[in-house]
Amino acid sequence: MSWNTLQDKQPYVVKLLTNSIKKDRLAHAYLFKGNKGTGKKQVALQLTKAYFCRVRESSEPCGECPDCKRIDSGNHPDVHLVEPDGQSIKIEQVRKLQKEFSYLGLESKSKAYIIEHAERMTTQAANSLLKFLEEPGQKTVAVLLTENPHQLLDTIRSRCQILTFAPQSQNELIQALTNEGNPEQLAKTAAALTNDQKEAQLLLEDEWFVQARKNVLKLGEELHERPHRVLLALNEYWHPHFKDKQQVEIGLDLLLIWYKDVFLTQLEEEQSIVFNDATNILSVQALHSSQSRVRHQMMQILEAKRRLNANMNLQLLMEQLVLRLQEG
């Protein structure tokens, strides 16, 4: 990995960081915000290598020295990576990090910290981290990575230099996926779920995902055409396929895309439709629904996603949702 490679995806971010490295003006703390798959962690690691590499040329780390190789392998003693322990980053993890702050670097006077999914810090952990951000040690760099910066404390955001990572365009992602031999319809669906090419490719290689898409198309049709048998349909093919929380979340995301497509059909923006192999069904639903009703249905799905994260019973969640979708 080099800055030139990363610059193709994130020209603004790379230009700012490389200029700061050349001028020896790195900030003590950065907040990298952006969608999954935009290269935040790759840039953080490249920044860390450039920070520690003793033989770098201009802003480019050599990639071959002990510091670069140790960072690549994840075992540099002065580079610390913090990621969620389960669902959150806990205060004990931050306290352990703070303890490391007090030590001199083992191999140099520098230290670096990368905190993944920083928005998942508990309130106690976030407040504890503030001490470092308010009183940074010399030659210390922290990089916080987040997809949801609004969930971080204002005081944390204000003490970081914030860099926004631009998302890969959906058309570019679809093209990249179809170039790998994936059918365009499936590639469009995967690209609507994630901006991360690797994650999208994993979905496309999973037969479960292919069937999930079919099931959502079927349910979307039945909700409008055969509402009397929707609860039966859930037991027939939804519950047996969407068995756990993660699978149900994907199902809800696909169902949300279906209703967005209905809305786009009403707006006559067919070029943006994801399920464009079902345009006849979408057109019928768009004709028989008002825009306000479709917006309400999308809100019901978003509410179901919120309740899903509150660990509601999966079957009851879906049964209540389809009844609310029918009510409109």
Are residues 105 and 78 in contact, defined by beta-carbon separation less than 8 angstroms? yes
Cα 176 from Cα 184, distance rounded (Å):
10
Contact 126, 91 (CB under 8 A): no
- Can you name the residues that pair with 88 across neighbouring β-strands? 85
For CA atoms 115, 121, 127, 128, the dihedral sign is negative
Instruction: Report the candidate in 219, 212, 168 with the shortest Cα–Cα distance to residue 189.
Output: 212
Q: Where do runs of H (alpha helix) occur along 23-122?
A: 40-52, 66-73, 91-101
Whether the CA torsion 273, 275, 279, 285 is positive or negative: it is: negative
Query: How far is C-alpha 268 from the geometric centre of its chain's CA atoms?
Result: 29
Tell me the HSE value of 99 on the side-chain side, using a 13 A CA sphere: 6
In this prediction, residue 105 carries a pLDDT of: 55
Which amino acid is located at 5 in the chain? T
The reported pLDDT for the residue numbered 106 is 56
Handedness of CA 234, 238, 239, 242 (dihedral sign): negative
Task: Write out residues in the chain with pLDDT < 50, as ranges.
Answer: none
3-state secondary structure of 61: coil
pLDDT of 234 = 95
CA–CA dist 282, 38 (Å, integer): 32
Whether the CA torsion 17, 21, 24, 29 is positive or negative: it is: positive
CA 166 to chain centre: 13
Residue 65 structure tokens: 């020295």
Strand spans (E) along the chain: 29-33, 79-82, 111-115, 140-146, 161-164
What is the Cα–Cα distance from 61 to 4, expressed in whole angstroms? 12
Domains identified in the chain and CATH numbers: 3-164 (3.40.50.300), 206-327 (1.20.272.10)
